[in-house]
Amino acid sequence: MSDYKRLSLSDIDIRKPLSWDVMDSFGHLLLSKGYVIDNLATARELIERGMYIEVAAGHYETSFQFIFEPEPPSVLRSINMAVTRLAALFRDINKFPDARKEILDIVKLVRFAIHLNEDVALACIQLNQESGNYAVRHCVDTAILAITVAQTMHNKSDQEIQDIAAAALTMNISMWDIQEKLQEKKEALSDAELSTIRNYPISSIRILHDAGIEDAEWLEYVLLHHEHEDGTGYPIGKVKGKFPYNAKILMLADGFCARIASRGDRGPALPSVALRDIFIENGAYVDATLGAYFIKVLGLYPPGTFVKLKNSEVAIITQRGSDNGTCTAHSLVNANGELYSAPLKRDTSTDPFTITKAIHPSEASVHVNLQQIWGSLANL
């Protein structure tokens, strides 16, 4: 029989291999024995989120000060843990004894978050953009959307969804260290930077292959997630044969999540504008059925979207309905521009709470406390 102890910072030796397998608060493997935490900032972040090891019942070392107490499952915590673990993998994939298993464990974390509550998981794409480096967070955001769309289709096998998710998480592994700089850049990209961008899918699959990942579909989706059937994509330019449907799912999810994120040269696009743009841009080679699934999942006002209500309140969409007119929202600001002390739940199918328009986060001018809206599902 075993118990669990929660690690403190004093239990971690920076730049030395871990002496144990480390679990998160759900009992999922977080870091394998032998993994090296190479800096204090990463160690502190992991400790704050919760690191646990399994020990024989009653045999705690004197330095053990915390007993494992199960925490209620949280969408936000699971997603943030996925971001943290993916960042560690991106920094040096070769440190992991089994990189493939680590990536698939992160897939499980993201899928668990979606299983807990799709609306909260989708809202995190817009509302949790400070959770980590853009390059890493964007991959997790893309995985959330791609998984949700694929699951909605019902004809996708568990293996297909796993491959789509793993490809989403690892598609940018070869340029994570420069993507943040490119994201913030206001001037035109240089020829060298453009070349790096156009070739990074090839570099990414090389890194993954060198790390022992040989899953053909997974690697194919990484390679093709910027390709277009009309030959205007990259890195190949003209894909021979049928363009894999699952690669299209990844391509569209990637494009949507990129557009609703802030960049150095522009603010985030409204979700409805982002959705319109990616289908106008890709309309010649995206069939109507696939487009319908994205619209079904996102609608005009996906969770996390700021909206203005008929009564002039500023609200945030918190739950999708059967159509765009039946969303649930929580009002944050009253008609006079004053913050409510706590979010007020609104049924947007009723007067005076119908939605008049979506607005940019900058127009809302309000900080959103996810836990205040979604409770324990958004605990940190």
Looking at the fold, whether 172 and 122 belong to one and the same domain comes out as yes
**What is the C-alpha to C-alpha distance for residues 165 and 171, in angstroms, rounded to an integer?**
10
Q: What is the span of the domain harbouring residue 321? A: 306-378
pTM: 0.80
* C-alpha–C-alpha distance, residues 206 and 89, integer Å: 15
pLDDT of residue 234: 59
Give the residue among 209, 118, 110, 125 at the shortest CA–CA distance from 161. 110
Is the domain of 215 the same as that of 324? no
Region 132-140: what's the mean pLDDT? 90
pLDDT tens column, 37-78: 877 778 877 877 778 887 654 433 433 344 444 568 899 999
Instruction: Report the C-alpha gap between 358 and 309 in whole angstroms.
Output: 9
- At residue 262 the predicted structure's pLDDT band, cuts being 50, 70 and 90, is confident
Write down which residue in 298, 330, 352 finishes a domain.
298
The string of DSSP letters for 248-311 reads HHHHHHHHHHHHTS-BTTB-PPPHHHHHHHHHHHHGGGS-HHHHHHHHHHH-SS-TT-EEEETT
Q: How far apart are CA 269 and CA 125, in angstroms?
A: 13
- Give the mean pLDDT of 216-231: 86
Under 8 Å between Cβ of 26 and 88 = no
Pick 175 or 197 by higher pLDDT: 175
Q: Which residues, 6 or more positions from 247, have their beta carbon under 8 angstroms from its beta carbon?
A: 220, 221, 224, 225, 227
The count of structural domains within the chain is 3
CB-CB contact of 239 with 227 (8 Å): yes
Number of other CB atoms surrounding residue 133 within 10 Å: 18
Residue 276 has a pLDDT of 86
pLDDT confidence of residue 195: 61
Residues 90 and 63 in one domain: no
Whether residue 108 is found in the same domain as residue 251? yes
Average pLDDT for 227-236 = 69
pLDDT of residue 62: 37
Residue 237's pLDDT band (cuts 50, 70, 90): low
**164 with 270, same domain?**
yes
Q: Which of 246, 280, 298 is the last residue of a domain?
A: 298
Determine the average pLDDT of the residues in 240-259. Answer: 87
CB-count burial class (<10 Å; 0-12, 13-18, 19+) for 159:
exposed
Q: Please state the rounded mean pLDDT for residues 3-18.
A: 78
Q: Are residues 325 and 374 in the same domain?
A: yes
What average pLDDT does this structure show over 253-257? 94
Query: CATH code at 189?
Result: 1.10.3210.10
Checking if the pLDDT of 352 tops 70, the result is yes
Measured distance CA(77)–CA(135) in Å, rounded: 19
Mean pLDDT, the chain, whole residue set: 85
201 sits in which H/E element: helix 191-210
For residue 1, is pLDDT > 60?
no
Q: Mark which of 264, 298, 332 sits at the end of a domain.
A: 298
Residues 55 and 94 in one domain: no
347 and 249 together in one domain: no
Q: Which two tokens stand for residue 154?
A: 């019902």
Residues 48 and 120 in one domain: no
Q: How far is CA 297 from CA 29, 33, 61, 321, 322, in A?
A: 30, 39, 49, 10, 10
Q: Write down the pLDDT at residue 202.
A: 92
120 and 248 co-located in one domain: yes
One domain for residues 223 and 329: no
Hey, what are 197's tokens? 């961008």
pLDDT of 311 strictly over 50: yes
pLDDT tens-digit series, residues 172-188: 999 877 766 666 666 77
pLDDT of residue 67: 40
Same domain, 207 and 276: yes
